[in-house]
Chain A
């Protein structure tokens, strides 16, 4: 892979990480008054998959959507303003962290009902197929979501009609505090997708180049009309299910497991890899850090100077 391309992947992951860390740092100020699910530790999936897409392709997501939104090119200012409930937010303050949208970036929507957007992505792909539009649709969801019936209903229809949709299952082993072992029998998730009659892949979701390689292959096949593609990517959620903090004191997972999970840091491991291949990365990383810091500062400034919506602004736009 070209050095510039590798650096772009690294920068994109680092940007998501730093943005979410900044959100976590300021969450205690009590001004971002909405549930927030951070993807810290899981950035490689969003970045690797979105790097395989074109601007016109569509993405749907779930409650843990910041990374997907940002990797697809969603507007950072509008996202931060949304978290602050301001009029300049991407939903004008109606949605918060769990409802992100940026139609210009092809980010068609994220919602927090588990499985809620999976059929919408299939519908988007169906419309593209019926109107001979080359646009692909990607939907991100978690291992918990795979337990929802609607996901299997969606896969069934996507496979039946050979629709250009890519299902991306981010398997972080947890639904809130409940481990996969308590929720699913011991069998690989991606093999169930395969049984629905679609191509399915699995890989290390913390290895951004591996994610990108799987995604590129899936994107190429889907664009050729080979039907839906499914990716199960393993990763690890570092912080609490919902909120800005680490939650190791709750003891629902062992110290060893957390350490192993954090050792798989997609950014640190990719930095090491790039240094082996290209030598010292510090100057580039320093530059990225500075640029990202400035961008984040500007986004918070935008958000906090964005107008507070009026008390009546929650009433309209019920019907189109």
Chain B
């Protein structure tokens, strides 16, 4: 009798499982972060690891992000494979010196004589008043540094497989996870498996418009894709980019050569976003394939306000994407079909929580 597939598990559980299996397989893997062994266990992504692997492999951390990043780099140079965790990306800004000056450059500047097998998990906050300093999406800032990898898995399947690949990789890998992905479920194999760190994935096929989306915006793009298809008969191609550095431009070019139209949906501030970089590269390499100008969908160029009244229209979502698709394709908003499409994309629950079950505080 074939194995019954197990029920879907959450993105958070997939991370926990990936960490567990990586630690089981390789005694050099250690995990450290503020709150890693505490009762909340980084949104349950590190639950039980201390009990299983002990206090010499699973560590809480002083509030010293830069120093501790350097200490993890030193440990990585000395044969360990540390996984660091920041409950918010914003905290990692304190560690920019060590990440950019040391982790990213060590292999290069010492002519390949040493390398830094380090994974840094960072969580992007959103909603429930996370506000200006707990909701930033800074992947482009990190991705500016050659020598570092920046990945943003969207599905639970990819979260586990890419975390395992990141831990096995000999370079510093920033593993950026959106807080609103943590409770999303999908099918995740029970065993140890790897997912490549440098490839986009097609989530939804279509030939009208290419939507290259990062992290949670891929979830939003998929909602838009289904609604556009069902109500308007428009097929968009959604690419979950998965990696920010390197950018899988080849996959986007392939899709754009088919659709002739490009929207890039990013979780970050518009200016200086990786969306801009992706559009630049497509324009440079396939300008003739574009039927119209590309479009960035990103957060506005101001910090996310805390008040839920002000934050209500801060984040772009499926509606933003679908409207951009209609504009781009010159599709009229036929009253009934358009209303049906909009209804299909309505959020279930308040605008500032990932789902009805979420009641705060972070």
A contact set with B: CB distance below 8 Å: 58, 90-92, 94-95, 99, 101, 103, 108-109, 111, 113, 116-128, 130-131, 137, 149-150, 152-154, 156-157, 160, 316-320
How long is the Cα–Cα vector from A95 to B112 in the complex, in angstroms? Answer: 12
- Which partner residue on chain B sits nearest A87 by CB separation? B111
B97 on interface, CB distance cutoff 8 Å: yes
**A119 and B67 contact, CB distance less than 8 A:** yes
**A119 and B73 contact, CB distance less than 8 A:** yes
B72 on interface, CB distance cutoff 8 Å: yes
How long is the Cα–Cα vector from A131 to B56 in the complex, in angstroms? Answer: 10
B contact set with A: CB distance below 8 Å: 30, 56-57, 62, 64, 66-80, 97-98, 101-102, 106-117, 146-147, 149, 170-171
How long is the Cα–Cα vector from A103 to B110 in the complex, in angstroms? Answer: 10
**B71 and A320 contact, CB distance less than 8 A:** no
How long is the Cα–Cα vector from A177 to B112 in the complex, in angstroms? Answer: 35
How long is the Cα–Cα vector from A27 to B116 in the complex, in angstroms? Answer: 34
Known A-B contacts: A111-B101, A127-B78, A317-B108. Give 4 more (CB < 8 A). Answer: A111-B102, A123-B77, A157-B62, A320-B170
**A103 and B111 contact, CB distance less than 8 A:** no
Q: Which residues of A contact B78 (CB under 8 A)?
A: 58, 123-124, 127-128
**B97 and A150 contact, CB distance less than 8 A:** yes
Q: Which residues of B contact A109 (CB under 8 A)?
A: 77, 106, 110, 114
Q: Which residues of A contact B97 (CB under 8 A)?
A: 113, 116, 150
**A150 and B80 contact, CB distance less than 8 A:** no
Given contacts A95-B109, A153-B67, A320-B171, contact A123 B72 (CB under 8 A): yes
How long is the Cα–Cα vector from A116 to B71 in the complex, in angstroms? Answer: 10
Given contacts A126-B74, A127-B74, A127-B75, contact A154 B67 (CB under 8 A): yes
**A122 and B111 contact, CB distance less than 8 A:** no
Given contacts A94-B110, A130-B56, A317-B107, contact A122 B74 (CB under 8 A): yes
Most A-side CB within 10 Å, residue of B57, B80, B97, B111? B111
- Which partner residue on chain B sits nearest A95 by CB separation? B109
**A103 and B101 contact, CB distance less than 8 A:** no
Most B-side CB within 10 Å, residue of A95, A130, A156? A130
Q: Which residues of B contact A317 (CB under 8 A)?
A: 107-108, 111-112
Q: Which residues of A contact B101 (CB under 8 A)?
A: 111, 113, 116
How long is the Cα–Cα vector from A150 to B62 in the complex, in angstroms? Answer: 12
**Which of A99, A119, A154 is the one whose CB lies under 8 Å from B110?**
A99
**Which of B57, B72, B109, B116 is the one whose CB lies under 8 Å from A91?**
B109
**Which of B66, B77, B109 is the one whose CB lies under 8 Å from A150?**
B66
**Which of A95, A108, A123 is the one whose CB lies under 8 Å from B70?**
A123
**A122 and B71 contact, CB distance less than 8 A:** yes
State the 7 A-B residue pairs at the shortest beta-carbon distance, nearest first.
A123-B74, A119-B70, A153-B67, A320-B115, A153-B64, A127-B78, A120-B74
Give, as a whole number of angstroms, the nearest-CB distance from A183 to chain B: 19
